[in-house]
Chains A and B, each alone.
Chain A
Amino acid sequence: MTSGKTESTRRSFFGILVASVSAVVGAMMSIPVLRFLLFPVFRSGDTAAWSALGDTGQFSGAGPFRAEVEVRRVDGWRVSTVKRAVWVVRNAQNQLLAVSDVCPHLGCSVPWRDDEQIFHCPCHHAKFRRSGDLLSGPSPRSLDPLPVKVEDGKLWVKYQVFRNLVSTREVIG
């Protein structure tokens, strides 16, 4: 073996060594950076808090009743109070329920139509019963029920946002 050949082998060896060690070290260093960059993609979405809808007395009758909630929304490093609308409805057992007014199809606000006695989405004509159950149209599921509780004679709701266009409900915020 000539010395030129030895030198060339030595250079190849160190070339591969330096390249592979830098690849390993680079991969190790990219772990914290990737973690940082991926925040908060995989964070659990259920951060909603309870907001008061009003006295239960004001929801007497068949409904549905439109109610506004003030939601304290955490937006990264700031919190703001935003207003959101919900529908207060009664189920078959005459219990008060709250459903989101956001259509599970493409997110339009769904109004109650007194003439038709149904919820009728103005965008793509999804129709829902008084209870929020799906009647017809492109929506993959019924209007989304929101967690409610009665405390001190007041109706409270947890305002949640759901993933649209899927048939199973998934809270995303």
Chain B
Amino acid sequence: MSDDSRTAFRPVAEWLERRIGWRKLMHEALDEPVPGGSRWAYVFGSGLLFIFISQIVTGICLSIYYVPSVDHAHTTVSFIQKVVWGGRFIRSLHSYGSSIMIILLMLHLTQTYVYGAYKSGRELLWLAGCLLFLLVLGMGFTGYLLPWDRRAYFATAVGTNIISEVPLVGPFFKTLLRGGAEMGTLTLSRFFVLHVFLIPAAIFAVIAAHLFLFRKAGAAGPPLSPEKLRVLEVRPFFPDQVVKDFVFGILLILLLGVLSALFPTRLGPVANPTDSTYVPRPEWYYLPAFQWLKYWRGGGILVGIVLIPAILFAMLFGIPFLDRSRRRAPLQRPVAVGGFFLVVGGLIFLGYQSSAEDRKDPAVRAKIAAQEDAEREYTKAPFEADEGPLALGARNGPAPQNLTPEAAKGALLFESEGCSSCHGAGGGGGEGLVKLWGMKDRYSDRQLADLMRSPRPAMLEGGMEASKLPDADLRALVAYVRATMNGKK
């Protein structure tokens, strides 16, 4: 900046300075002393803040269209993905952002832990950080359900069931979280409120506390003894560390943008609770926990999924109170640092085991591949709008009294044989159900009967059973389909 422009701005700067006191604020913000100067190891915290802001912006965008109800959640996400300009990109940014946040959290936590930066008066800072860790995991868990596709539905069904394994209070909390015994529209509302209001509010508050406590305690610097730290040169936060943080932040944004543009996130078919063949898998960062649960049976469950995780979390939160020596160098804290990497290594091993087991079992591997194909196919299919109530009314078939006796018998069989539980009342489909309208235009009576006797593999996979009805009943069902299930008007 030239001296001329400085003089020109000076009166304005002074006017603002008298009212805001921004020079002191800037000094507070930028001249934070960093013992030993800037390091690339310190960039992860700022990186988290960058991604968190991106999550807020993209999340607000998504909430313009999202409706947290079982009737509309999936359609509105599909609308965002397929119709809204840049909707697929924004949704991908939000989805990849959550994964990147977990990775950055692990890096930030590892750096702080290895540097022993939770010591000498930084216990509360560490505790606030651990709390943020849990809150971000909670954001991942609650956000995963919101698209209400098959993957989301079944992963969350398993996830919420785990809670009920906790003795005494487990079933209570599971019902509270689900809003009932089963997953449904109340579950979706609750997860939406947690994801959009409660957990973000808590994150804002704890970030504020985390930053305040960080500034109060001061930057910890490299892992040296207090005596050696004291003789290190102290450099201000700005510009060296700020520039490093910004370079890292820009790289993160680039990474997010490239991932979202090249590998946009997918949306699967709508959740179908009656599909008993779905193989649910959680998001990658929950895979270690998912694998861990496989090893515990009967009485061991209490130890495996309550006691051991509780002890590990207590040790994570309590490490500043357990590792109380003044030594900070990782090699001088072999137990603390060794234990940490043992747990991290164990988690990585569990995650690897989970995917290895899936790859080893040909049936599971084929099923997961088929599920992913279905997701890709649904993502590519054009957007299909929800029918409003009037439009639905206009499309109902003829009233049952107009049916021939044979077709009327078919109508009763359609209910009693459970056809309607997967195909909707009158074969009209519905949320997660397979619509039959238009079938009769594509198949002859003979073909329809054959399909019911021996469904095609894709139909069997969808949960359809081969009918064992006598021929007369089958003819009645075909007559009913023929009489009522017209194509789209």
Q: How far is the CA of A72 from the CA of B75 in the complex (A)?
A: 18
Question: Bound state CA distance, A81 and B387, in angstroms?
Answer: 9
Asked whether any CB of chain A lies closer than 8 Å to the CB of B89, the reply is: yes
A5 contacts the other chain (CB 8 A)? no
In B297-335, the 8 Å CB interface with A consists of none
**Closest beta carbon of chain A to B378's beta carbon, Å:** 15
Interface residues of B in 43-93 (CB under 8 A from A): 54, 57-58, 61, 64-65, 72, 75-76, 78-79, 83-87, 89-90, 93
Q: Is B11 close to A, CB under 8 A? A: no
Which residues on A sit within 8 Å (CB–CB) of B356? none
Chain B 268-288: CB-based contact to A (< 8 A → 1; otherwise 0): 000000000000000000000
Query: A50-72 vs B: 1/0 string, CB under 8 Å?
Result: 00000000000000000000101
Assembled-state Cα–Cα distance A33/B62 (Å): 10
**Which A residues are CB-close (under 8 A) to B75?**
77-78
| B388, closest chain A residue (CB) | A80
Q: Does B289 contact A (CB under 8 A)?
A: no
CB distance from B257 to the nearest CB of A (A): 8
Chain A minimum-CB-distance residue to B82? A77
**A18 contacts B388, CB within 8 Å?**
no
Stretch with Cβ within 8 A of B (4 or more), from A35-43, A108-116, A131-139, A142-150: A35-43
Contact B250 A21 (CB under 8 A): yes
Residue on A nearest B93 in the bound complex, by CB? A32
Q: A77-B385, A78-B385 are in contact. Are A37 and B61 (CB under 8 A)?
A: yes
Residues of B within 8 A of A25 (CB): 250, 253
Give chain B's interface residue range (CB within 8 Å of chain A): 35 or more
Question: In the assembly, what is the distance between CA of A92 and CA of B289, in Å?
Answer: 79
* Residues 10-25 (chain A) with a chain B CB within 8 angstroms: 10-12, 14-18, 21-22, 25
A77 close to B76 (CB less than 8 A): yes
User: In the bound complex, do residue B57 and residue A33 qualify as a contact, i.e. CB atoms below 8 Å apart?
Assistant: yes
CB distance from B382 to the nearest CB of A (A): 13
In the assembled complex, the CB of B244 is this many whole angstroms from the nearest CB of chain A, namely 11
B85 touches A10 (CB 8 A): no
Interface residues on A, range: 20 to 34
A16 touches B1 (CB 8 A): yes
Q: Are B239 and A39 in contact (CB under 8 A)?
A: no
Cβ–Cβ contact B1 & A38, under 8 A: no
A36 touches B391 (CB 8 A): no
**Which residues of chain B are within 8 angstroms of A77 by Cβ–Cβ distance?**
65, 72, 75-76, 78-79, 83, 383, 385-386
Do A74 and B391 contact each other (CB < 8 Å), given the known contacts A12-B1, A18-B239, A18-B242?
no
A11 CA to B236 CA in the complex, in Å? 11
Q: Which A residues lie within 8 Å of B87 (CB)?
A: 36, 39
Q: Given the complex of chains A and B, what is the CA–CA distance between A82 and B64 in angstroms?
A: 25
Q: Cα distance A15–B239 when bound, in Å? A: 7
Residues from chain A with a CB closer than 8 A to the CB of B238 are: 11, 14-15
A75 to B83, CA, bound (A): 12
B239, B242, B388: which contacts A78 (Cβ < 8 A)? B388
Q: Which 8 pairs of residues, A with B, have the shortest CB-CB distance? A: A80-B388, A14-B239, A77-B79, A78-B386, A35-B86, A81-B391, A39-B85, A32-B86
A-B contact pairs, 25 of them (CB 8 A): A15-B238, A16-B1, A17-B243, A25-B253, A29-B253, A32-B86, A32-B89, A32-B90, A32-B93, A33-B86, A35-B86, A36-B64, A36-B84, A36-B90, A39-B87, A40-B84, A72-B391, A77-B76, A77-B83, A78-B385, A79-B391, A80-B387, A80-B390, A80-B391, A81-B394
**Which residues of A pack against B, CB within 8 Å?**
10-12, 14-18, 21-22, 25, 29, 32-33, 35-40, 70, 72, 74-82
Interface residues of chain B, those whose CB is within 8 Å of chain A, are: 1, 54, 57-58, 61, 64-65, 72, 75-76, 78-79, 83-87, 89-90, 93, 238-239, 242-243, 246, 250, 253, 383, 385-391, 394
